[in-house]
Structure 1
Amino acid sequence: MKYRLFLVLAVAGLAACTTQARVAALRDTEVQLEEARAHSWVDCSARADCDRLWSLTKTYVAQYSITPIRRADETAIETAEPHTFGVVYVWATRTTDDSGASTIRLKAMCRGMYRADGNPGWLYRTCAEQIRAVEMNFLPFIGASS
C-alpha cells in the first residue's frame, strides 16, 4: 500500500515538474518572439528612401515565404497561406502619412503554431524558431537599424 502511494506521488511530482518546464519554455519562447517582432518594422521619412525599403521588403517576403506573393501594392505585400503545416509565410504592410513618412511592418506566420483555442499547437516550437529567424533577419536584410 505504501509503495503504491509513493509511486502515485512520484508520478504526480514528475508531471508537475514537466508542466512547469513546459510553461517556462513557452514563456521564454514568447519573450523571444516579442523581441523578434520588435526587429520586424522600420520607420522612414523620405519618400524615395521609403520606396527603396518597400522594394527590399518585397524581395525579402518573396525569398522567405514558402508561398508566392499573391498581392503587392503600395500598402501591402501578401502571400498565400500554405497548405502545409509548420512552414512560414510572410506578409508586410506599409502605412504612409501625408508627408511621405512610412512605417513598414513585416509579419511572419506559420500554420499549426496555435490551436483554434489560441493555445500552442503541435508545431509551436518549430514555427516559433522559423518566425524568430525571419523577423530578426529583416532589418539587416533591408539595411535598416531598429
Structure 2
Amino acid sequence: MKKIVAFALVALVLTACSSPEKQAAQAQQFLHNEAGLTDAQRNAAVDCEPANCDAAWALTKRYIEQHSDTPVTRADAVAIDTDVPSGSGKASFSATRAAKGASTTLTLFAQCRGMYGPDSAKGSDYDKCAEKILKTQNGYAAFLRAHASGQ
C-alpha cells in the first residue's frame, strides 16, 4: 500500500511540473529559438570579393571542421559537406560558394539529428542543437572578418 501511495505522489508531482503555464513558456521559448535560427541562417551568408574569396573559403572549411560533430566528407570549389550525424544531438555543417555578379556569396548551413520530431515539432535534442547552431552560424561572419583581410 505504501508503494502505491508513493507512486501516486510521484505522479502528482510530475503532473504539476508540466502545468499549462510551464507548457506555454516552453512553447514561447521554442518560437523564440525558431526565429533566432532563421536570423542565424541569414547571418551565415557572407559576400566576398574575388581578391579574398579563396582565403575566406579556406577559412570556411576550417570553421566547419572546428564546429561540426562530424568530419568533412567533401571540400571543393563550390561546396563543403560534413558527414551526416550518426547520433542524436550531433551537429553537422555544410557551406556553399555561389557567384553573384562581381562578388561571391559563402553560406554556412547546419543540421542536427534529433532536433525535430514529427511535423517539425520540437525534438528530444532541440535545445542542445539550437544552442550549438545559433552559436556557430552567428559566429561565422565574425570569424571570417577576424581571420581574412577585406571581409
**TM-score category of the 2 structures, normalised to the smaller one:** 0.7 to 0.9
Match of 1:15 in 2: 19
Q: Which one has a larger percent helix, Structure 1 or Structure 2? A: 2
**One-letter amino acid of the structure 2 residue matched with residue 92 of structure 1:** A
73, 84, 89: which is aligned to 1:86?
A: 89
Match of 2:58 in 1: 55
TM-score, length-scaled by structure 2: 0.79
Question: How many residue pairs were aligned?
Answer: 133
Quote the sequence identity (%).
Answer: 36
Q: Structure 2 unaligned runs (5+)? A: 1-14
How well do the aligned residues superpose, as a CA RMSD in angstroms?
A: 2.2
TM-score, length-scaled by structure 1: 0.81
Match of 2:76 in 1: 73
39, 44, 62: which is aligned to 2:43?
A: 39
Q: After the TM superposition, which parts of structure 1 deviate over 6 Å for at least 4 consecutive aligned residues? A: none
Match of 1:132 in 2: 134
* Residue 37 (structure 1) shift: 1.8
Q: Separation in 2 of the partners of 1:35 and 1:125?
A: 17
- SS for the counterpart of 2:110 is strand
Match of 1:29 in 2: 33
109, 112, 131: which is aligned to 1:110?
A: 112
* Residue 114 (structure 1) shift: 0.5
- SS for the counterpart of 1:89 is strand
